[in-house]
């Protein structure tokens, strides 16, 4: 059987979680193409994996639309983009299966797919619930998915439940947990080598956005004297105001000598293995949370808010502590418990590392997605 000719479509080209996953998935399809609305690091990563990159002629400016903001508000901009739909449809004709990796990409690819009649996979990286998205947006996305998507791939049971609760057809949903490449076996880097301070140190690793909850960690630090933190990640999708607010909070709470902003980094697992504990403070339901798995693989203890996929990834709290979302005191209590006796969490770290290797490897994810795509392609030719 000749391998399916696959066309990936993603709207942004900067690297946030969904794009990291796409770059991993794409390695299973070296002969595939990728249609992006803009140039950037994702394009370079995909081309390095042997994919043919196609950059939209009509995509200018779309990448700047805030990731979490209403698609409905973005519609006037998108509506002008009939040209973009035509471009996607044009590219799609030379492919067997279309694969949209973001909400905006799905919207336009769904229209293109109905023109060229190709099976369409939607890799949905969001929780389509009312706390994240408005009713209009949910109805639009679910309505399109139900009519046009052959499969909706989601990274967690939490995403699948939200999709079905919003009216999505259960039979098109496939849960394929995200996967991460295990770190190279290497001695733990010293703090000094990484330029990090000595003493109790936690890390938060995520793009800077209000619902990712970095501000809750800052408040928790106020309650845990002596604990420092590194904040890794940057404001990616128009979240600069939030970053300014975080820096102001650091000043107001007098945390200047304990909190270091490191920006976006490519050595996340090294940094994770050098801190004592990784904190995942999202205030809203997290669709997946790659950080959790990276920390588990790095054998570093995890404290995460109990919202969305964290509970399933952390095995109901057996692979990391779960705390109340948005509650700085609950987070502070978990950090105090941890720093009072870090050795008591060794078994939890071992369990977490084993669980991550077994369930959340990039190889497993690629295998699952390849099987799914080949099945759709076979259905089309058969």
Binding-site ranges for ligand GLC (CB under 6 A)? 16-18, 21, 125, 155, 178, 286-290
In whole angstroms, the minimum distance from the beta carbon of 322 to ligand GLC comes to 16
In whole angstroms, the minimum distance from the beta carbon of 17 to ligand GLC comes to 3
Identity of the residue, 313 or 377, whose beta carbon is nearer to ligand GLC in the bound complex: 313
User: Which residue lies nearest ligand GLC, judged by its C-beta?
Assistant: 17
Identity of the residue, 16 or 141, whose beta carbon is nearer to ligand GLC in the bound complex: 16
Identity of the residue, 155 or 228, whose beta carbon is nearer to ligand GLC in the bound complex: 155
Identity of the residue, 7 or 284, whose beta carbon is nearer to ligand GLC in the bound complex: 284
Q: How far apart are CA 177 and CA 292, in angstroms?
A: 12
Question: Do 276 and 299 touch, CB atoms closer than 8 A?
Answer: no
In whole angstroms, the minimum distance from the beta carbon of 125 to ligand GLC comes to 3
Q: How far apart are CA 242 and CA 209, in angstroms?
A: 6
Question: Which among 265, 261, 253 has a CA at the least distance from the CA of 230?
Answer: 261
Identity of the residue, 228 or 289, whose beta carbon is nearer to ligand GLC in the bound complex: 289
With 0-12 / 13-18 / 19 or more C-beta atoms within 10 angstroms meaning exposed / middle / buried, residue 230 is buried
Question: Which among 313, 316, 321, 322 has a CA at the least distance from the CA of 356?
Answer: 313
Question: Which among 233, 230, 349 has a CA at the least distance from the CA of 298?
Answer: 349
In whole angstroms, the minimum distance from the beta carbon of 75 to ligand GLC comes to 22
Alpha helices, DSSP H only, in the chain?
17-26, 41-48, 71-79, 82-92, 103-116, 135-148, 157-165, 191-194, 214-222, 240-252, 268-274, 290-297, 310-313, 328-340, 346-359, 362-381
In whole angstroms, the minimum distance from the beta carbon of 79 to ligand GLC comes to 25
In whole angstroms, the minimum distance from the beta carbon of 68 to ligand GLC comes to 9
Q: How far apart are CA 360 and CA 276, in angstroms?
A: 22
Q: What are phi and psi of 263, to 5 degrees?
A: 70, -170
In whole angstroms, the minimum distance from the beta carbon of 130 to ligand GLC comes to 16
- Contact residues for 76 (Cβ-Cβ < 8 A; gap 6+): none
In whole angstroms, the minimum distance from the beta carbon of 16 to ligand GLC comes to 5
In what helix (H) or strand (E) does residue 65 lie, and over which residues does it extend?
none
Identity of the residue, 156 or 273, whose beta carbon is nearer to ligand GLC in the bound complex: 156
Residue identified by tokens 């336009």 is: 108
Identity of the residue, 91 or 323, whose beta carbon is nearer to ligand GLC in the bound complex: 323
Identity of the residue, 18 or 227, whose beta carbon is nearer to ligand GLC in the bound complex: 18
């Amino acid at each position: 059987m000749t391998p399916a000719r696959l066309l990936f479509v993603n709207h942004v080209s900067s690297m946030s979680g969904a794009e990291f996953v796409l770059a991993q998935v794409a390695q299973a399809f070296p002969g595939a193409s990728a249609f992006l609305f803009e140039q950037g690091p994702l394009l370079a990563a995909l081309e390095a994996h042997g994919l043919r990159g196609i950059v939209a002629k009509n995509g200018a400016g779309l990448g700047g639309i805030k990731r979490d903001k209403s698609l409905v508000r973005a519609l006037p901009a998108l509506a002008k983009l009939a040209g973009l739909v035509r471009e996607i449809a044009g590219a799609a004709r030379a492919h067997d299966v279309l694969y949209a990796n973001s909400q905006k990409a799905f919207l336009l690819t769904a229209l293109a797919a109905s023109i060229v009649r190709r099976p369409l996979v939607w890799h949905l990286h969001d929780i389509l619930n009312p706390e994240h998205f408005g009713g209009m947006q949910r109805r639009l996305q679910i309505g399109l998915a139900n009519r046009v998507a052959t499969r909706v791939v989601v990274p967690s049971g939490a995403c699948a439940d939200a999709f079905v609760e919003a009216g999505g057809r259960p039979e098109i949903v496939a849960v394929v947990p995200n996967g991460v490449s295990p770190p190279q076996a290497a001695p733990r880097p010293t703090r000094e080598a990484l330029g990090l301070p000595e003493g109790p140190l936690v890390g938060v690793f995520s793009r800077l956005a209000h619902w990712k909850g970095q501000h809750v960690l800052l408040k928790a630090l106020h309650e845990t004297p002596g604990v420092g933190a590194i904040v890794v990640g940057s404001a990616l999708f128009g979240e600069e105001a939030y970053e300014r607010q975080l820096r102001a909070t650091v000043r107001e709470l007098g945390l200047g000598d304990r909190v270091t902003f490191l920006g976006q980094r490519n050595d996340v697992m090294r940094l994770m293995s050098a801190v004592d504990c990784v904190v995942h403070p999202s205030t809203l339901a997290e669709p997946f949370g790659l950080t959790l798995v990276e920390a588990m693989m790095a054998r570093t203890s995890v404290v995460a808010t109990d919202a969305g996929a964290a509970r399933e990834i952390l095995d109901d709290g057996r692979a990391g502590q779960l705390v109340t979302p948005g509650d700085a005191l609950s987070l502070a209590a978990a950090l105090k418990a941890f720093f009072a006796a870090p050795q008591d969490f060794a078994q939890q770290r071992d369990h977490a590392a084993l669980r991550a290797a077994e369930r959340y490897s990039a190889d497993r994810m690629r295998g699952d997605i390849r099987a799914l795509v080949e099945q759709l392609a076979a259905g089309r030719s058969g």
